[in-house]
A and B are shown apart, each in its own frame.
Chain A
Amino acid sequence: MLRPFADWLDKTPLSQALQNHLWIIPTSQSIHIVAVSVLFASACVINLRLLGVGRGGRSVSTLSATLVPWMWRALAVLLCTGAIQIIAEPVRQFVTPAFWAKMTMIVIVATMTYLYARSLRRNAPLWDTPATRPASAKFFAVISTLLWLGIIACGRFIGYTWSFYA
């Protein structure tokens, strides 16, 4: 069912237009990398703080209040450039397990981050003191970091594995 859809999308004028301009895909991928860099580094800085790694400095709530809004902006850029890449090369994306793994992980990590940020906004003092921080904080930090690593790895591996499935 996905394959016919991918083939149809591939033949649409919009997809053809994107494919016919050789600079579009590398440019979109470059912007995509910049966006994922902002997301990954922000997530790592917050997660390391939750794990108690690194030098003092800002509290968890201050850090998150600064970084989380930039993470949502970067996620919007990530999804827009990702959509361009899907429309330009639909077969390559839809047939590849690495693509679906990446989509699953991005939904999970975005949901987790939203719930984390909401809980933090409501209980900032609780989160800022390591002694009273919910036990789930470290679990969140480890899982979120692993998911971002997985997302980047799957993103890179779409390009190396799609030809096995097409």
Chain B
Amino acid sequence: MSLAPLLATIKGWPISAAVRGDLPGTEWLFPIIETLHVIALATVLGTIVMVDLRLLGIASRESAVSQLSREILPWTWTAWCAAAVFGTLMFMSNATAYAGNLQFRLKFVCMGLAALNMLSFHFGPYRRVALWDSGEPPPSAKLAGALSLALWIGVVFFGRWTGFTMT
């Protein structure tokens, strides 16, 4: 089954045309949505960096990992949902081109790997967090922190490159 007709249908919706700026009065909608997307992603990335640096034992060592996670990660998830909504709107505006764009696809490969890394951390070293909560994280937790940092920076890189390669 080909996705092409579905993508073309999505692109044809009035809301997609509005985000694209094709309807009267919507010329500035795309830049505004993109700005909101950047604000949301900055919150996602900045808060993830805080937790990752703690897992690496580099920053916030005065906080227990579990406490830092409770303090910070609700903001990460809230902002991620906002970024996903604005990102989906931008995708809809040119669904066929985004779906075929290599950098856009690589961005989602990075995000998928980041999700797997998060799951393996949560069901792996984090289950024994009580043993290392306030001290130096074990190598497996440090690896998860390093991978998370690298993958999320990859998400930003490929996201920014997408804007340069869309025609």
Which of B46, B63, B157 interacts with A38 by CB under 8 Å? B46
Chain B, Cβ-Cβ closest to A157: B31
Interface of B is mostly: helix
Q: How far does the Cβ of B64 sit from chain A's closest Cβ, in whole Å?
A: 10
Contact: A66 with B59, CB < 8 Å?
yes
Q: Which of A36, A41, A45, A153 has the most CB of B within 10 A?
A: A41
Chain A residues with Cβ below 8 Å from B43 are 37, 40-41, 44
Interface size on B, residues (CB 8 A): 30
| Bound form: Cα–Cα A15–B70 in Å | 46
Chain B residues with Cβ below 8 Å from A34 are 45, 49, 153, 156
Contacts A30-B160, A34-B45 given; indicate if A156 touches B63 (C-beta within 8 A): no
| Bound form: Cα–Cα A27–B41 in Å | 17
Chain A, Cβ-Cβ closest to B157: A30
Residue B47 at the A interface, CB < 8 A?
Answer: yes
Contact: B160 with A37, CB < 8 Å?
no
Residue A100 at the B interface, CB < 8 A?
Answer: no
Residue B140 at the A interface, CB < 8 A?
Answer: no
Chain B, Cβ-Cβ closest to A27: B157
Q: Which of B38, B46, B72 has the most CB of A within 10 A?
A: B46
Chain A, Cβ-Cβ closest to B67: A57
Chain A, Cβ-Cβ closest to B164: A26
Residue B133 at the A interface, CB < 8 A?
Answer: no
Can you report 5 residue pairs joining A to B where beta carbons are below 8 Å apart? A38-B45, A41-B49, A45-B47, A70-B53, A149-B39
**B contact set with A: CB distance below 8 Å:** 31, 34-35, 38-39, 41-47, 49-50, 53, 59-60, 62-63, 67, 70-72, 75, 153, 156-157, 160-161, 164
